[in-house]
Structure 1
């Protein structure tokens, strides 16, 4: 299962058929039915463009992007915050970062092994201790 995860991380667009071929190329013989069952158990699906995703008629409501017409002309006008994860040997580490859009510099960041709100609040308090933005943007 570890090898399947490695192949999937390198090629997330592989389905179970291409994953079987890639495993065979690396000297790992596995039946396609077994590989499909393992991928289902791991929750892995091939990532590919689905049909008609660009049509807006199906959307009930689309939120307007409020910063589209805003010209960012000075530091600390807009900060971007984001949480992402980093895969480690056993599990994940979570990274919270704050970036100034004008200078594209990292204001502050914090790493945590658990996805709890404490590390986010510590990072925000440190950043607000130095300076404050007019707008904070997140997705």
Structure 2
């Protein structure tokens, strides 16, 4: 947007018109230091061997190799490299102790016609900055989605709207 060889306007005047700092025009990114590039290479080699190492384990491993690093630096470099460790997620399918188990009311019921049984589910869609929540209502017989809604908050309004539309 800035023309360095403009006959009437200097670079400073052009920056002022665009409401940007003149220093941002001259800024050149420096990139990573040689030490950080070496650390990234070591992290990559270790991550190929042990893809379950997170930030803490990777920091511990590099410290054992004689590198003086902290977790914040390793976290930044692993995020920059796009490395996400593989780890066992919590098992949310098994009930916790003390939780009441409700009976399954559809056991033995034959679903033979449309609109006899509906089902619904809420899931979250991970986005770059937070989550979106999706609710879908489906007919069991035809397996068609009757309605769905997306919301950025987990309030009941969008679920009720989807149910009313279905």
TM-score by length of 1: 0.53
1:46 to 69, 88, 98: 88
Q: For the structure 1 residues 20 and 32, does the alpha-carbon distance in structure 2 shift closer, same or farther, using more than 3 Å as the test?
A: farther
Distance 2:90 2:131 in 1: 25
Q: 1 or 2 for the larger relative contact order (CA 8 Å, sep ≥6)?
A: 1
2:106 to 61, 67, 71: 67
1:121 pairs with 2:160 = yes
Distance 1:120 1:60 in 2: 25
- Deviating runs (4+, > 6 A) in structure 1? none
Distance 2:160 2:108 in 1: 30
Aligned length: 91
Structure 1 unaligned residues grouped into runs of 5+ = 1-16, 24-28, 39-44, 128-139
1:110 to 149, 156, 159: 149
Distance 2:51 2:127 in 1: 26
| Higher Rg | 2
RMSD of equivalent CA atoms: 3.5
Q: For the structure 1 residues 48 and 116, does the alpha-carbon distance in structure 2 shift closer, same or farther, using more than 3 Å as the test?
A: closer
Structure with the bigger percentage of strand: 1
| 2:59 equivalent in structure 1 | 31
Question: Deviation at 1:95?
Answer: 0.3
| 1:93 equivalent in structure 2 | 132
